[in-house]
Amino acid sequence: MTINNEYLIESKLPQVKTTIFATMSTLAQKHQAINLGQGFPDFSCDSSLIEYVNQAMLAGHNQYPPMTGVPALRQAIAEKVLNLYHAKYDVDTEITVTAGATQAIMTSILACVHPGDEVIVIEPAYDSYIPTIELAGGIPVLVGMKLENAQFSIDWDLLATKINPKTRLILINSPHNPTGMSLTSNDFEMLANLIRNTKILLISDEVYEHMVFDGKAHLSIASHPELAQRSFIISSFGKTYHVTGWKVGYVLAPKALTTEFRKVHQFNVFTVNTPMQLGIANYMQNAEHHLNLPHFYQAKRDYFRHALADSRFQLLPVSGTYFQCVDYSAISDESEINFATWLTQEIGVAAIPVSAFYREQTQNRLVRFCFAKQEKTLDAALERLLKI
């Protein structure tokens, strides 16, 4: 007997298709295009980091670590956060090592969102936010950023109209993917004023915390005591140390929030790769490895932007991340997905349409490039882009 499998399962995410990142990467491979779409480096991490991991493996650290993360790594995280943001998190009760930032985001949402709860998402937004809210039974409430004079900013007045007794959570992301903008102290005060007398929680996605440019320091929610008391703060070693494939991150949260987070975490992934945790803990003993990162990526940003300055693209500001958004209005009237497809097939450079970061198709004629690449990769891409 043949069974039609479509009748055996009802999709929990009926609107979700193959991600735009996989789609554009496949298209880039098919057309031998230079992939400036998906956000990962094409260069190696520091060899000493790999050596630390190898040492941990050879020393026999290959079994399950504690569910919360190895103590040495949690201690290193606590010291970094104290030094950078003057915030003290308890090593045992307020820091949890995760299998990357996406798992941390999902676990945070599952820990606190109940069916019918509303969750405010600021668009454009990382593509895992909305599906995870829906898996938790929550209702995504979308707030679009303002785009004025080629600059994105959060529309706090609009966001204020979305807050009601059903609002359980607000997601923020700074430095912001895909726009490259960073939140300011004024943004933090606006947010604090909006939620001060509520039970609303925050998720602060700070995976690009060490990629903030032009001499400015990253403004973490951890540095704002009032907001920190109701926040899950998420970061990524994969982004920081050029090892996105390792999938190691962490969450900072007050004890009560961490307790609920860990209840889900232990049944989600339980724990995270032991030797990589130990290797990262050793590597973190030299703070220069993350303190030098802004200079490293700013040089790449400036190189890429300088080369495109005389092109037909309009460059949006980039205060953080390793992404550059460009306005292609002077080149084409096509939709963002059609332009990105043309760029890949005909020009030989893959980009991501910014419309992919919205639930409803929003057309601003913007595409996003990733400049976390070797100089030779950027040169090859720039040569093609400058011919347009």
pLDDT of residue 170: 98
pLDDT of residue 17: 81
pLDDT of residue 18: 79
Question: Does position 217 have pLDDT exceeding 90, yes or no?
Answer: yes
pLDDT digits (tens, 9 = 90+) for 44-70: 999 999 999 999 999 999 999 999 999
Question: Which CATH number applies to 47-289: 3.40.640.10, 3.30.70.100, 1.10.486.10, 3.30.420.40?
Answer: 3.40.640.10
Q: What is the mean pLDDT of residues 170-179?
A: 98
pLDDT band of 3, cuts 50, 70, 90? low
Q: What is the mean pLDDT of residues 152-157?
A: 97
Question: Does position 171 have pLDDT exceeding 80, yes or no?
Answer: yes
Q: Which residue has the tokens 């994969």?
A: 238
Strand order of the β-sheet with 95-98 is: 95-98, 249-252, 231-236, 201-205, 167-173, 118-123, 139-144
How many C-alpha atoms does 252 have within 13 Å on its Cβ side? 32
Domain ranges of the chain: 5-44+291-385, 47-289
Question: Does position 22 have pLDDT exceeding 90, yes or no?
Answer: no
Q: pTM above 0.75? A: yes
pLDDT of residue 7: 64
pLDDT band of 120, cuts 50, 70, 90? very high
Greater confidence (8 vs 176) lies with 176
pLDDT of residue 26: 92
Q: What is the mean pLDDT of residues 4-27?
A: 82
pLDDT of residue 39: 87
Q: What class is the 5-44+291-385 domain?
A: alpha beta
Tokens of 195: 């939620």
pLDDT digits (tens, 9 = 90+) for 184-206: 999 999 999 999 999 999 999 99
DSSP 124: S
Q: What is the mean pLDDT of residues 249-264?
A: 98
In the chain, % of residues over pLDDT 70: 98
pLDDT of residue 2: 64
pLDDT digits (tens, 9 = 90+) for 346-371: 999 999 999 999 998 789 999 999 99
Q: Round the average pLDDT of the chain to a whole number and report it.
A: 96
Q: Which residues contact 174 (CB under 8 A, 6 or more apart)?
A: 181, 182, 183, 204, 205, 206, 218, 219, 320
d(CA 143, CA 249): 27
Instruction: Specify the DSSP element, H or E, that contains 153.
Output: strand 151-153
pLDDT of residue 311: 96
